[in-house]
Amino acid sequence: NAGVTQTPKFQVLKTGQSMTLQCAQDMNHEYMSWYRQDPGMGLRLIHYSVGAGITDQGEVPNGYNVSRSTTEDFPLRLLSAAPSQTSVYFCASSYQTGFRANVLTFGAGSRLTVL
Amino acid sequence: AQSVTQLDSHVSVSEGTPVLLRCNYSSSYSPSLFWYVQHPNKGLQLLLKYTSAATLVKGINGFEAEFKKSETSFHLTKPSAHMSDAAEYFCVVSSPGGKLIFGQGTELSVKP
């Protein structure tokens, strides 16, 4: 089925470790983004991309790195994990990037715990 | 700047009774507004969207929302709650360039 695929679904890290959350979509969407979800705070944008080779920072980019070498893939890298990065991470994509157009398709989420 | 406030963090209704989830927004531009639903341990799914056409917007599963510019509101309603409606609901405003600003979420509980 077409959609957004995130891996892994669950991950436990120790403080200081690094890891990559993978995100892939097969809908030829130009726009891809990463959010983190924390209780009582809604979803906050970490990084986003409007096309291959183009990335930009969102609300809470510190401690995270992204790249977009292909239209399909948008991995999120945690450089040195901290307990404050314990969260549920969602990848989302959309076909259009304009002001009025952004209906997002979400992945199922990746739950990360940093000890 | 754009912002969105969901006025209730938790709403509890009985099955078969109406649902009202409240959302106020702030926007320097004519906004696009969305409601997304998140069922437990799932990703978010679009319920409905407003993009300056009809002010009453119908969505999936019997939900609808009315855009009221004078009140800067975009409340979500459903005439009769079903057990399967229990979920978290997010009101979202689109900023220039397409970034989405999410509200804090409202958890809807439905009692039998």
Mean pLDDT of B37-47: 91
What count of other Cβ atoms lies within 10 Å of the Cβ of residue B45?
Answer: 15
Work out whether strand B56-58 and strand B106-111 pair parallel, antiparallel, or are unpaired: unpaired
Spell out the residues 6+ positions from residue A39 whose beta carbon is closer than 8 angstroms to its own: none
**Under an 8 Å CB criterion, which residues of A touch B?**
4, 31, 35, 40-45, 48, 58, 90, 92, 94, 96-104, 106-109
For residue B59, the Cα-to-chain-centroid distance in whole angstroms is 10
Q: Please judge whether B98 and A106 are an interchain contact, meaning their C-beta atoms are less than 8 angstroms apart.
A: no
Mean pLDDT of A90-101: 75
CB-defined contacts A:B, below 8 A: 60
* Residue A101 DSSP label: T
Residue B52 confidence (pLDDT) above 80: no
Predicted pLDDT of residue B103: 93
Q: Please judge whether A31 and B98 are an interchain contact, meaning their C-beta atoms are less than 8 angstroms apart.
A: yes
> Using CA atoms, how far apart are residues A64 and A45, in angstroms rounded to an integer?
11
Which of A91, A99, A111 should one mutate to test binding to chain B, selecting the residue with the greatest count of B CBs within 10 A?
A: A99
Identify residue A91 by its one-letter amino acid code. Answer: C
What count of other Cβ atoms lies within 10 Å of the Cβ of residue B46?
Answer: 16
Of residues B64 and B55, which shows the higher confidence score? Answer: B64
pLDDT in tens, B22-39: 999 998 777 889 999 999
B94 φ, ψ (degrees, to nearest 5): -95, 125
Residue A36 confidence (pLDDT) above 60: yes
Q: Are B68 and B62 in contact (CB under 8 A)?
A: no
Where residue B57 falls (left for φ over 0; alpha for ψ -120 to 50; beta otherwise) is: beta
Give the B window 15-44 contacts with A, CB below 8 Å: 29, 32, 34, 36, 41-44
* Residue B79 DSSP label: S
pLDDT in tens, B62-106: 999 999 999 999 999 999 999 999 999 999 988 766 678 899 999
| % of chain A at pLDDT higher than 90 | 80
